[in-house]
Structure 1
Amino acid sequence: MWARASAGDSPGAIGARSRTESFTGTGVEPAGGADPSPLAIRSLAALLHVYIFAMESLWWTTPRVRVTFGASELDAQVTRAMAFNQGFYNLFLAIVTGAGVVAHARGESAVGAALVIAGAGSMLAAALVLLVSAAL
């Protein structure tokens, strides 16, 4: 719910969530009293995306990564620039999600929730696009 400002509140208090309010349904709860597992899962997703960044941007043409993605040596060379770019996309998702987890841990629930929802939500949306496109 939205916090109501009282006479003693700062001008920016109207419409702001308090640090102790819950973001029900988002999997992001205030620090200190909620189940930490949703944030742990999002942290693992962020770490996975850092690993994907390394595979796509740093190791794309190595035999192990080529086998993982089912790409020939020629395919890897031809798609190297695309993979490099996509790797950074994954890194940026990891950074946004990780920053949200850190903000939440520091008690900045609103900022943390916004960043986690943006980062992890984008990860989920991209995963759904991948699943749908694979089925076509």
Structure 2
Amino acid sequence: MLVVAAILALVAAAIHVYIFVLESVWWTTPRGRAVFGTTEAQAVETRQLAFNQGFYNLFLAVIAAAGAVALFLDQSAVGATLVIAGCGSMTLAGVVLLSSDRTKTRPALIQLAAPLLSLVALAGSAL
């Protein structure tokens, strides 16, 4: 189950790297605006907020990926700790998005599914 947890943590990390790119690199582009449903004016106005938020997603991805690598290297305590920190934060951020705006159910589930499943697999490996 540790391998499954590590693979799912890497999937979660990849999703969050993509979110980083959307928010910090492509925010004002037609593609970024289409994903988030913003106008050009809204995107320009909120660019700095999105840039900062994107980096939060990147840092969570790095934490989860480092945990997955540690799990693959048989460093279970360090790996589990990092996966819990990274994937736990990703999951909770998805729950906040879901609970704050029901129209964002799909993006919230994309954001929280892989990290939640990673945590479930990690918990299952401890049983």
Structure-1-length-normalised TM-score = 0.73
Unaligned runs of 5+ in 2: 104-127
- Relative contact order higher in (CA < 8 Å, ≥ 6 apart): 2
1:63 is matched with 30
Counterpart secondary structure, 2:6: helix
Distance between the aligned counterparts of 1:116 and 1:37, measured in 2? 12
Unaligned runs of 5+ in 1: 1-26, 30-35
Letter in 2 for 1:56: E
Counterpart secondary structure, 2:101: helix
Counterpart secondary structure, 2:53: helix
Contact 2:6–2:72 at 8 Å: present in 1 too? no
Letter in 2 for 1:41: L
Distance between the aligned counterparts of 1:111 and 1:124, measured in 2? 19
| TM superposition outliers: structure 1 runs of 4+ over 6 Å | none
1:113 maps to 2:80: yes
- What's the % identity of the aligned pairs? 54
1:48-127 paired onto structure 2 within 5 Å: 48-127=15-94
Structure-2-length-normalised TM-score = 0.78
Displacement of 1:37 after TM fit?
A: 2.1
More helix by share: 2
What is the root-mean-square deviation of aligned Cα atoms in Å?
A: 1.3
